[in-house]
């Protein structure tokens, strides 16, 4: 029996967790985004997976492949606040987080929140800001709060960072530190569309006749509904043998001859949470090995560092992840 028929057979089981509401919400999200975004089905599915798993996403691709517009339209499908921050070399931490200003009325300092205080935050060209500004994101991405002048300010849920970066332009860019990369659930690489998709993009753009794409998108998910769906994801069932499978995959990165740096336990947790969300998206209340394999590369590729020799030979992190996946027996 092949994997497809096995998966179809599993879908016939009665779910112990009611996923009807989640399925309807996902269908509505995809319907809205597919009005404008063409040929990026995997990108959209991973964005929805990250949303349900309450994780942040780093989006990498050359200019013009709809990284920013997809992130903006994705945010518009949610009935939440949205802010966009353009990272530049002269951007300071206070430009992102906010700052305390002396009030002439009260003669006391008042905190003025920065653009990070939103629900969905799009950071454009995150690798253009210096290390000090990038480091300002460490606390807010991990703990959903910031500390300024000894005071803690909590982010209102949901809170999701979508960051874009261009892999080609190196002038005026700063490599993201490993500690910051580790805070992104996924790194999604957006490729060029194929010829058929390119033709559909041209037709869609022509038919809009100058109408902004965001006009076509409707908000379909409220913060309350989203919180309920995220709580459902936590209830998705994962068997002990799959905990062992995830641990084997991640630990293998730590002693692989092609890697200088392996993945941390945070990566194991990320694989587990993402695979639970992927299972729910496909209508199951339990994780199967294919869910884990589907999210493995987006979770691990930005968390591992190749050895200098392998990097010079043109080996990619995705190549090594595939080697590791093929070397470990899939539990059944």
Q: Could you give the residue range(s) of every CATH 1.10.8.80 domain in the chain? A: 236-332
Strand residue runs (E) in 227-301: 259-261
Give CA angle at 107 (105, 113), nearest 5°: 80
pLDDT tens-place values along the chain, 332 residues long: 455 444 444 444 567 878 899 999 999 999 999 989 998 899 999 999 999 999 999 999 888 888 989 999 999 999 999 999 999 999 999 999 999 888 888 878 888 999 999 999 999 999 999 888 998 899 999 999 999 888 899 999 999 999 999 886 667 788 888 889 999 999 999 999 999 999 999 999 899 888 888 888 999 999 999 999 999 999 999 999 999 999 999 999 999 999 999 999 999 999 999 999 999 999 999 999 999 999 999 999 999 999 999 999 999 999 999 999 999 999 98
- Classify domain 236-332 at the CATH topology level: Helicase, Ruva Protein; domain 3 (1.10.8)
pLDDT at 254: 96
Other CB atoms within a 10 A radius of the CB of residue 193 amount to: 16
pLDDT at 7: 47
Which pair of structure tokens corresponds to residue 313? Answer: 């030979």
Q: Could you give the residue range(s) of every CATH 3.40.50.300 domain in the chain? A: 15-218
Q: Are 38 and 207 in contact (CB under 8 A)?
A: no
The β-bridge partners of 161 are 121
Taken in order 59, 65, 68, 73, the sign of the CA dihedral is negative
Which pair of structure tokens corresponds to residue 119? Answer: 């629900």
DSSP string, 145-194: EEEETTEEEEPPSS-EEEEEE-SS--TT--PPPHHHHTT-SEEEEPPPP-
pLDDT at 10: 46
Q: Are 69 and 165 in contact (CB under 8 A)?
A: no
Q: How far apart are CA 113 and CA 99, in angstroms?
A: 7
pLDDT at 170: 66
Q: How far apart are CA 202 and CA 168, in angstroms?
A: 25
* pTM summary value: 0.90
The DSSP secondary-structure symbol of 108 reads S
Give CA angle at 86 (215, 218), nearest 5°: 20
Give CA angle at 4 (49, 11), nearest 5°: 65
pLDDT at 14: 65
Architecture of the domain defined by 15-218? 3-Layer(aba) Sandwich (3.40)
What SS3 class is residue 10?
helix
């Amino acid at each position: 029996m092949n994997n497809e028929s096995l998966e179809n057979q599993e879908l016939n089981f009665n779910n112990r967790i009611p996923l009807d509401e989640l399925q309807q919400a996902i269908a509505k999200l995809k319907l809205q985004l597919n009005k404008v975004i063409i040929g990026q089905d995997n990108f959209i599915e991973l964005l929805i997976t990250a949303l349900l798993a309450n994780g942040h996403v780093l989006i990498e691709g050359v200019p013009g492949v709809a990284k920013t517009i997809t992130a903006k339209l994705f945010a518009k499908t949610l009935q939440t606040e949205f802010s966009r921050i353009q990272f530049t070399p002269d951007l300071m931490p206070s430009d992102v987080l906010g700052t305390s200003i002396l009030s002439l009325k009260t003669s006391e300092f008042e905190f003025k929140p920065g653009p990070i205080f939103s629900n969905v935050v799009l950071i454009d060209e995150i690798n253009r800001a210096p290390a000090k500004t990038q480091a300002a994101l460490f606390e807010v991405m991990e703990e959903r709060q910031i500390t300024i002048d000894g005071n803690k300010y909590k982010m209102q849920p949901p809170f999701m960072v979508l960051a874009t970066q261009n892999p080609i332009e190196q002038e005026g860019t700063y490599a993201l530190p490993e500690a910051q990369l580790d805070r992104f659930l996924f790194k999604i690489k957006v490729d060029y569309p194929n010829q058929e998709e390119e033709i559909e993009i041209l037709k869609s753009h022509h038919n809009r006749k100058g109408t902004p794409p965001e006009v076509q998108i409707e908000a379909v998910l409220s913060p309350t509904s989203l919180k309920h769906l995220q709580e459902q994801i936590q209830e998705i069932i994962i068997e002990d043998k799959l905990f062992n499978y995830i641990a084997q995959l991640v630990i293998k990165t730590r002693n692989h001859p092609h890697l200088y740096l392996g993945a941390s336990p945070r990566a194991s947790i990320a694989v587990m949470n993402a695979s639970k969300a992927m299972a729910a998206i496909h209508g199951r209340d339990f994780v199967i090995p294919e869910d884990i394999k589907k999210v493995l590369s987006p979770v691990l590729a930005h968390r591992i560092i190749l050895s200098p020799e392998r990097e010079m030979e043109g080996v990619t992190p995705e190549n090594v992840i595939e080697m590791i996946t093929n070397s470990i027996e899939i539990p059944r």
